[in-house]
Amino acid sequence: MSTSHEYDVVVVGAGTAGCYAAATVAREGLDVAIVERKTAEEAGHIACGDALKGADAFPESIPKSQIEDSFTNTGVDHGRFEIPQEDTVLDIPVPGELAVIDRWEYGRLIIEGAENAGTEFHYDTVVQDVVQDDDDTVTGVRGKRNGEVVEFEADVVVDGAGSLSILQDKTDFSNSRFDTNVSYSQFCSAYREIVEVPEPVEWDDALVFKPTERAAGYLWYFPRTETTINAGLGFQMNEEPMKLVDDLKRDLRDRPEFEGGEVKDKLGAALPTRRPYDSAVADGFVAVGDAAGHVNPTTGGGIAGAAYAGTYAGEQAVRAISEGDVSEEALWHYNERVMDHFGARYAGLDVYNVLSTAVDVDDLMGLLASLPGEKLAEALYSGTTSFGPTLLAKTAKDSFGYWGQILHFYKTKNLADELMEHYARYPRRPEALDVWQEQRDALMDDIYEVTGADPKY
């Protein structure tokens, strides 16, 4: 047996990007459904660090007031970097509004917000295939629910199915510019535990980071409350996950504040640590959030970006449907808005991921330990090329012995700035993408040469 449904827009995945896309479409009066593989009870339960940068601004399709009850700690204002190699702790102020959230509660609230806007939900449905017509335009998706085949027809399909989405494996993109230069090595695996500790931690106003004993991983401790801690780790997918999970468990055992703690929840996931897709649209198809690389590649933070990407995708889908044209060209402006808002910045930040693969971790930790947190924060967040001679001059005494590394970072930052300037010239039509990519790739060749890193793309 099989069942068929028809909508203007079908969204796969009830995450942040999917819910905001659906809510945006529904508020414009179109028929929209979200297809979600989890049950209604489990939907919204997603592995996450729970830290939210940019908590002060969210798109109005699901307003901030809808999700504020999930903000459990709005008192965090800095990063606390533990550097065991140097036996030191570095505090770095973080500008803008930060919050640590209860991700499952947040997930429930955005689903409720999408429902309130008029979105229909189909839970317990595993999408297994994409439907395309003779011209390769995506016209729907096909999946299974309780052993029964279910097909969803739509003018536009929004892929919010997360990292390494199966929809992209199943879609023929040969007639589009959709980014297929995607490899598992450009992604990170993450694992986290929610731990309830008996006494308040001293660092409930900070996001705590610590490198693992292996170069490719890092630990985090994010306080939802004074006694509820999101403890987790991230590592590149080419590392052995269980050995890194052992690093987390060992560190938890060694921390006195976690003595007597109780693990309330465990979960793992994959997330992009790469630049945003060069193009996330094809005929009848748009990818959003993790499914399009819309994550800060240096921190894994993706909630705010996903909310806006979903909103932009929803708005562009509505416009395309109203004009009777859902082609790649008709959906292209979505790419432009993403690159203009955060995509260019994320592409620039990805340069530092590239650099990290060619830098000795002990040298990097030693350099960070030698720099004052305020000056480092200024260099990281000012948006200028101040990470270099200026910082070197201000910290000459403490940073002696690391001048070569500082100048290396300075040259890299200059190239990252050039790359962001190039992204500011993102093409306004699909036909111009090839030339833009050639110029971008030439900049990346310079970055690989300066950093000494192996090519990532």
E strand segments, 13-61:
32-35, 51-53
Q: Does residue 87 sit in the same domain as residue 150? A: no
Domain contains 415: yes
Is the domain of 39 the same as that of 113?
yes
pLDDT confidence of residue 438: 98
Same domain (yes/no): 135, 281: yes
Q: Residue 457 domain-assigned? A: no
Q: What is the pLDDT of residues 195-216, one digit of tens each?
A: 999 999 999 999 999 988 665 6
Q: Are residues 200 and 170 in the same domain?
A: no
At 375 the pLDDT is 54
**pLDDT for res 455:** 95
Q: What is the pLDDT of residue 94?
A: 80
Most confident option among 25-34, 84-93, 235-244, 372-381: 25-34
243, pLDDT greater than 80:
no
* pLDDT band at residue 385 under the 50/70/90 scheme: very low
Q: Is residue 12 part of a domain?
A: yes
Same domain for 86 and 233?
yes
Confidence check: pLDDT of 366 > 80: no
Are 444 and 384 within one domain?
yes
pLDDT at 367 over 80: no
> What's the average model confidence in pLDDT over 253-259?
95
Does some domain include residue 150? yes
Q: Which of 244, 272, 300 is the last residue of a domain?
A: 272
- Checking if the pLDDT of 357 tops 60, the result is yes
153 versus 410: which is more confidently predicted? 153
CATH of the domain at 202: 3.30.9.10
Q: Does residue 257 share a domain with residue 194?
A: yes
* Residue finishing a domain among 342, 359, 386: 342
Q: Given pLDDT bands bounded at 50, 70 and 90, which one contains residue 360?
A: low
Amino acid sitting at position 260? G
Report whether pLDDT(58) > 80. Answer: yes
Q: SS3 for 229-288, per residue? A: EEEEEEEECCCCHHHHHHHHHHHHHHCHHHCCCEEEEEEEEEEECCCCCCCCEECCEEEC
143-160: average pLDDT: 97
* pTM given for the model: 0.92
Helix %, strand %, coil % of the chain (to 5):
40, 25, 35
- Is the predicted pLDDT of residue 337 greater than 80, yes or no? yes
Mean pLDDT, residues 121-126: 98
| Region at 85 (left for phi over 0; alpha for psi -120 to 50; beta for the rest) | alpha
Average pLDDT over residues 371-375: 54
Tens of pLDDT along 211-230? 886 656 789 999 999 999 99
**CATH number of the domain enclosing 33:** 3.50.50.60
Report percent pLDDT > 90 for the chain.
71
Residue 43 counted as domain residue:
yes
Residue 419 counted as domain residue:
yes
Based on the domain organization, do 49 and 146 belong to the same domain?
yes
At residue 28 the predicted structure's pLDDT band, cuts being 50, 70 and 90, is very high
Q: Which domain holds residue 85?
A: 78-96+185-272
Q: Tell me, yes or no, whether 417 and 387 share the same domain.
A: yes
- H helices present in 323-388, as ranges: 328-331, 333-338, 344-356, 361-370, 373-381
3-state secondary structure of 457: coil
Asked if the structure places residue 257 within a domain, the reply is yes
Query: Do 404 and 294 reside in the same domain of the chain?
Result: no
Q: Among 317, 342, 367, where does a domain finish?
A: 342
pLDDT at 364: 60
What are 423-444's pLDDT values in tens digits?
999 999 999 999 999 999 999 9
Domains in the chain, number: 3
pLDDT given for residue 372 in this prediction: 54
Q: Using CA atoms, how far apart are residues 320 and 28, in angstroms rounded to an integer?
A: 13
Looking at the fold, whether 435 and 372 belong to one and the same domain comes out as yes
